[in-house]
Structure 1
Amino acid sequence: MYIQVSEDFKKKSKSAVLAITIFVMVYILLFLFTVLLTVACVVGGILLIIAKPMFLTLMLGAGAIGTGVFIFFFIIKFLFKKHINDRSHLTEITRSQEPELFKMIDEIVKETETDFPKKIYLSYDVNASVFYDSSFWSMFLPIKKNLTIGVGLVNTSTKQELKAILSHEFGHFSQRSMKVGSYVYNVNKIIFNLVNDDESYRNSIESWASMSGYFSIFAAISLFITQKIQWVLTKMYSFVNIRHMALSREMEFHADEVAAHIAGSLALEESLLRIELASNSYSNVLSFYEAKISKNQSSKNIYKEQFFVMNFFAQLNELEIKHHLPNVKLSESGLFNKSKLVIENQWASHPSHEERITKLRNLNITKEADNEPARDLFKHFEQTEEKLTAKLFSGVKYEKGRTDLDLDIFKTEFEAQYKKDSFDKVFNSYYDNKNPDFTVVESTLSKELSFDELFSKEKVELVYTLIALENDKKTIEAIINKELILKTFDYDGEKYTSKEAKKLIPVIEHSIAEIKVQIQQNDADIYNYFIRSATYSGRKSEFTDTYRLLADLDHQYDEKLTVYTDIANATAFMNTKTAFDQIKRNFITLKPLEEKLKKEIKPYMDSHTISLDLGEQEIKDLNYYLSNDLVYFNNDQYMETHLQLLMKAINIYPYLLSRKYFRMKKDLLDIMKELKTSFDMEKVN
């Protein structure tokens, strides 16, 4: 199968190759410079020793020779670097184990006219990828690629979708035209190693410097020179990498086209749109079990739980179910993104899903589809899921013997946890990213409004449009202040240069002011709607008291948060080299700040809700910290155990503060939901 590459692909390929050519020329000049410098250092060192043999000249001569050798080694060290991928998290599978899966891969390999993978692995996550170990010689020698398939992906895909995703991966290496991309990728990685991967080099110089005071002087000279060389190489790397990223985005489009020709445009589109939901569901299950470590609980099959969570979220968001899987539409995937600002991310290696789907729809290639679950390609998929789940949890350290949570118990606890940590859907996400307006006052409603009108899609869109406008304003201000360097950008469908950015600020500010007025009016209507509902239900004082309590905390929030920022700043010295006397003075200064911190944390520890927010060990540690006057520095050394308790208290405090705010906000919204229900019943009666 041959697919003509686009003009953009050709253009960006030429740009990437030109950048590499320029880099090679600069590198050759640096190489020649280091060769001359090395020869001068070595010859000069030898002549110095011969001219006057004595201990001083011997050490100086050896230091000069060492300087030359280290500088030369720096410029060629990438030749000896080999990138070995970590395979510890992977599980290899063979044709005899999974013949149906391998049969599908055979078909893809045949259609893409590429080589069969060297090895095929299963991973834990929601992804598929091709990888290989690389070195400098990878540019000249053929390399067999390995294929990784995430079980979390198989679990949430149809056979046709999995075929499309795997076809995309092979599409990167399927044609001659793509080899330039592979070559650029390798060269880019080599340059990265040359510029950044110098830990072993620094360790070698430090070891040499520690041998003698004479050598330490020459080691400093070596580092100074190599840092200047590295500065040049870093600039060149940015020059090459930005063009590599541009080519990489075009390669993604091309690989999508290959996949569409093999499996159809629709299969790849639907898998791309669902993958975020599938990944988010998998992450939610992992987070759930992170909180269960202290209880020594784990999962028997994390993928059954992922599937449940994915469908749980789909039901909450009223997503269509197609082929027994949530069918996420493009409009639903970007539901709350109301930004009018479009900036091409020149450092991104992948285009956005929106860009990819637009191109797939333009291709509109239809194929006969097998929409059975991808899991059916495996002989014993449930056993495979359980095997990988056991491997995943084997890396977790439990204090006692762990127990696997029953699936039904997981479902019950997850739903309860989600309900506890989220706001009711009845508010249509209106309050998910905004708080009630605490400036509102009781007044007569301007007109008869229903609950559904107050929390309609149009009113919710006002909230997210305001958020987008405020973010757009910050981004454009960054462009104006040259914090974000770019030539052009699009705003509301029109192209602007960075010099024209200033003219947009008044336009955005005007839009922000208009929408704020509309939101403030709606918030006032909401408040008075619930005042009226609470009055009918005899719960007015309960509603207003809860509202004002949250308003008080909102007013105090920034002040309370300064307790954290002040003590965090005051302890920053521990991350730097500090004289002993200064450390002692710093801890004396820290004392009143620590007392403030303890005063703020104590009410949380006395609250009945603390066990909902912290684990048993965290509660014990905090109680010990609060009950004792700990010493953090004694006999000219830090007391590590005590410092760990201090840092734990510092870092937990803002979490406890945010949890208190969330809980009080949820209490208010729960009352509002109850009032809405009772008010609806009153109207019916």
Structure 2
Amino acid sequence: MYIQVSEDFKKKSKSAILAISIFVIVYILMFLFTIILAVACIGGGILLIITKPMFLTLMLGIGAAGTGVCVFFFIIKFLFKKHINDRSYLTEITRTQEPQLFKMIDEIVKEAETDFPKKVYLSYDVNASVFYDSSFWSMFLPIKKNLTIGVGLINTSTKQELKAVLSHEFGHFSQRSMKVGSYVYNVNQIIFNLVNDDQSYRNSIESWASMSGYFSIFAAISLFITNKIQWVLSKMYSFVNIRHMALSREMEFHADEVAAHIAGSVSLEESLLRIELASNSYNNVISFYDAKVSKNQASKNIYKEQSFVMNFLATQNELEMKHDLPNVKLSESGLFNKSKLMIENQWASHPSHEERIARLRKLNIIKDTDNEHAKNLFQDFEKTEEKLTAKLFSKVKYQKGKTELELDVFKTEFEEQYNRDSFDKIFNSYYDNKNPDFTIQENHIVKDLLFDELFSKEKVELVYTLIALENDKKTIEAIASKELVLKTFDYDGKKYTAKEAKKLIPEINHSISEIQKQIQQNDSDIYHYFLSSTDDSGKKTEFINAYQLLSAYDASYEEKLKVYTDIAHATAFMSTKTMPEQIKRNFLNLKPLEDTLKNEIRPYLENTSISFYLEEQDVKDLNYYIENHLIYFNNDHYIDTHLQLLMRAINVYPYLLNRKYFLLKKDLLNTMKDLANSGYTEKVN
């Protein structure tokens, strides 16, 4: 199979090769400089020793020679550097263990006209990748790649979708034209090694310097010269890497085209659209168990739980099902992204899903599909899931013997947690990223208002359009002030130069103002919709009280948050070198702030609806901290156990603030929901 590379690919390949060529020229010049320096330093050192042999000239001569050798070694050290990928999180599988999966890989390799991977591994997550151990010599010697397949991906894909994703990975290495990508990648690694990965080199220099005071002078000279070389190479790294990233984007498009020819356009598109939901579901399960470590609870099979969470979230978002998996549409994946700003990110190695899907639809390659679940490729997928789960949780340190949650228990607890931490679906995500408007003035203008209109898709989109406009404005202001350096960008379908960015800001401000007026009007309508309800149950009074409580807390929030910022600033000295007497004075000055913090935290701990969300040990530690006067510094030493209590109190305070805000907001919305469901507010005339 031969696929013609695009003109953009050719253009960016040439740009990348030009950047490499310039780097090679600069590097050769530096290499020659270090050879001349090394010869001069060694020759000069020997001459100095021969001319006047004595201890001083011996040390100076050795030091001078050492400087030349050190600088020369710095410029060639990458030749001996080998990048070994971490495999501790991987589980190797063989053809004997999984013949059906390997048969699929055989088919892909044959169609893509590439080599079979050296080894095939399973990883925990929702991903697939090809990797290899590399060194400088990788640019010239053939290297067999390894394939990694995430069990979280297999668990949430059809066979055809998995085939498409794996075909994409092999697509990167399917043609000779893609070899340039490997060269650019290796040059990047070399420069990165020279610029950043120099700790072992510095350790060697420090060891040499510690041998003698004479050598320390020459070690400082060596570091001075290598720092100047690093500065030049860092500029080269930026120059090469920008072109590498631009080429990488084209390589992604090319690999997508290979995958589409092997498995069809639709299967790759559907996998791309679902992968965010699948990954989010996997991360939700991991987060759930992060909070269970203190209770010594673990999972028996995180992938069954991932499937449950994915389907649960799909139901919450009213997604359709296809082949027993959520079918995420492009319009649904970008529902809350209303940005008009388009910047070709020169540092991004992957194009956006929207860009990739647009190209896939343009290709529109139809293939016979096997829509059976991908996990059926395995001999015993449940056993594989449990094996990977056990390996993942073996890395967690439990204080006592761990217990594994049954799936039904997980489902119940996850749903309860989700419902506690989210607002009711009746509001259609209107309040997920905004608060009620507390500036509304009561009026007596009569309107015909319907609940469904107040929280319609159009009204929700206003909220996310405003968020996008405000974010766009910040980005364009950064472009105008040159904090963000680029040549051109697109806004609302029109191309602008960086110099024109400033002209756009008034236009965006006008759009923001118009959207704000519409949202404020809708917020006012919402308020009066509930305020004007017939109240036979007392819910109207409950609504007013809940609204006023949240409004009052909102008004005091910044002042309460200042308690945190003040004490965080006042304790910053502990992370820097400070004289003992100054430390004592700092802790004396801290006392009033600490008293304020304790007084702020106490009511949150006494409120069981808030302390419920804290670990039992955290509640005990915070109560101990509040009730006792702790000494943090004694006999010129910090008392770590007391400092840990202080820092825990400081860090938990913003969480308590936000938790109370959330609960007050949820109380208000629940009251509004009750009013809406009671029949009192079906229509207000």
Give the structure-2-normalised TM-score: 0.98
**2:434 partner letter:** K
Post-superposition offset of 1:402:
0.9
1:535-584, Cα deviation, whole Å (9 max, x unpaired)? 34323332111111111111111111111112222222333333333333
Listed one character per residue, the Cα deviations across residues 436-458 of structure 1 (whole Å, up to 9, x for unaligned) are: 00111332354110110110111
Q: Tell me the C-alpha RMSD between the 2 structures.
A: 1.5
Is 1:100–1:378's contact at 8 Å kept on the other side of the alignment?
A: yes
In 2: Cα distance, 1:187 partner to 1:481 partner? 33
CA 1:54–1:642 in 2, change beyond 3 Å: closer, same or farther? farther
1:73-124 Cα deviation digits (max 9, x unpaired): 1111111111111111111000010000000000001111111111000000
Question: Paired residue for 1:126?
Answer: 126
Deviation at 1:682, TM superposition (A): 7.7
Match of 1:449 in 2: 449
Change over 3 Å in CA distance of 1:594–1:312 after alignment to 2? same
- Tell whether the 8 Å contact from 1:613 to 1:656 is kept in structure 2 after alignment: no
Offset of residue 534 of structure 1: 6.6
Change (3 A) 1:680 1:116: farther
Q: Cα offset for 1:23?
A: 0.5
**1:265–1:361 CA contact under 8 A, matched in 2:** yes
CA deviation digits over 1:458-515, x for unaligned, max 9? 1111111111111111111111110011111111111111111111111111111111
1:527 to 1:24, Cα distance in 2 relative to 1, 3 A: same
Cα contact 1:285–1:302 (8 A) shared by 2: yes
1:566 maps to: 566
Other structure's SS at 1:284 match: helix
Aligned counterparts, 1:611-650, within 5 A: 611-650=611-650
* Secondary structure of the corresponding residue to residue 337 of structure 2: coil
The answer for the alignment partner of 2:180 in structure 1 is 180
Q: Which residue of 2 aligns with 1:511?
A: 511
Residue of structure 1 in register with 2:653 after alignment? 653
2:222 maps to 222
1:417 equivalent in structure 2:
417
Tell me, yes or no, if the aligned pair for 2:131 and 2:147 is still in contact at 8 Å: yes
> Are the equivalent residues in 1 in contact too, given 2:121–2:148 (CA < 8 A)?
yes
Equivalents in 2 of 1:493, 1:578: separation in Å? 55
More off after superposition, 596-605 vs 72-81: 596-605
Which amino acid in 2 is paired with 1:655?
Y
Q: Distance in 1 between matches of 2:350 and 2:595?
A: 49
- Equivalent residue, structure 2, for 1:47: 47
In structure 1, how many angstroms separate the alpha carbons of the residues matched to 2:462 and 2:10? Answer: 43
1:251-400 equivalences in 2 (<5 Å): 251-400=251-400
Counterpart for residue 90 of structure 2: 90
Q: 1:496 to 1:227 in 2, by over 3 A?
A: same
Contact 2:206 2:219 in 1 (8 A): yes
Aligned equivalent of 1:15:
15
SS, match of residue 489 in structure 2: strand
* 1:533 alignment partner, SS class: coil
Q: Residues 515 and 235 of structure 1: is their aligned pair in 2 closer, same or farther, counting only changes over 3 Å?
A: same
Distance 1:56 1:159, change over 3 A: same
CA–CA separation in structure 1 for the residues paired with 2:353 and 2:154: 20
Q: Kindly report which structure 2 residues correspond to 1:131-146, keeping only aligned pairs within 5 A, or say none.
A: 131-146=131-146
Segment of structure 1 superposing worse, 546-555 or 577-586: 577-586
> Deviations for 1:563-611, whole angstroms, at most 9, x for unmatched residues?
1112222222333333333333333332222222222212212221344
Which is worse superposed, 613-622 or 649-658? 613-622
Cα separation, partners in 2 of 1:129 and 1:534, compared to 1, 3 Å: farther
Structure 1 contact 173–182 (Cα < 8 Å) conserved: no
Residue in 2 aligned with 1:577? Answer: 577
Q: Please tell me the residue identity of whatever aligns with 2:462.
A: L
**Equivalence for 2:191:** 191
Q: For residues 447 and 59 of structure 2, what CA distance do their matches in structure 1 show?
A: 93
In the alignment, does 2:545 pair up with 1:545?
A: yes
Q: Percent identity?
A: 80
Question: Does the Cα contact within 8 Å between 1:81 and 1:136 map onto a contact in 2?
Answer: yes
Aligned equivalent of 1:34: 34
Contact 1:533 1:679 in 2 (8 A): no
Q: Does the CA contact (< 8 Å) of 1:445 and 1:529 recur in 2?
A: no
What is the total number of aligned residue pairs between the two structures? 684
Deviation at 1:681, TM superposition (A): 8.2
State the alpha-carbon separation in 1 of the partners of residues 595 and 216 from structure 2: 46
SS in 2 for 1:535: coil
Report the alpha carbon displacement of residue 182 of structure 1 after superposing the two structures with TM.
1.6
- Bigger mean CA deviation after superposition, 148-157 or 195-204: 195-204
Are the aligned partners of 2:451 and 2:682 in contact in 1 as well (CA < 8 Å)?
no
How far off is 1:184 after superposition?
1.2
Provide the residue aligned with 1:555 in structure 2. 555
The aligned counterpart of 1:69 is 69
Compute the TM-score of the two structures, normalised by the length of structure 1. 0.98
Residues 611 and 324 from structure 1, CA distance in 2 versus in 1: closer, same or farther, beyond 3 angstroms?
A: same
Distance 2:534 2:201 in 1: 71
Structure 2 unaligned spans of 5+? none
Q: Give the stretch that moved more between structures: 535-544 or 223-232.
A: 535-544
Distance verdict in 2 for CA 1:601–1:372, change over 3 Å:
same
- How far has the Cα of 1:21 moved from its partner? 0.6
| Inter-partner Cα distance in structure 2 for 1:520 and 1:314 | 31
Summarize the Cα distance change of 1:63–1:573 in structure 2 as closer, same or farther, 3 Å threshold. Answer: farther
Matched residue type, 2:133: D
Tell me if the contact between 2:534 and 2:681 (Cα under 8 Å) persists in the aligned partners. no
1:216-241 residue CA offsets vs partner (Å, 9 max, x unmatched): 22222221111111000000000000
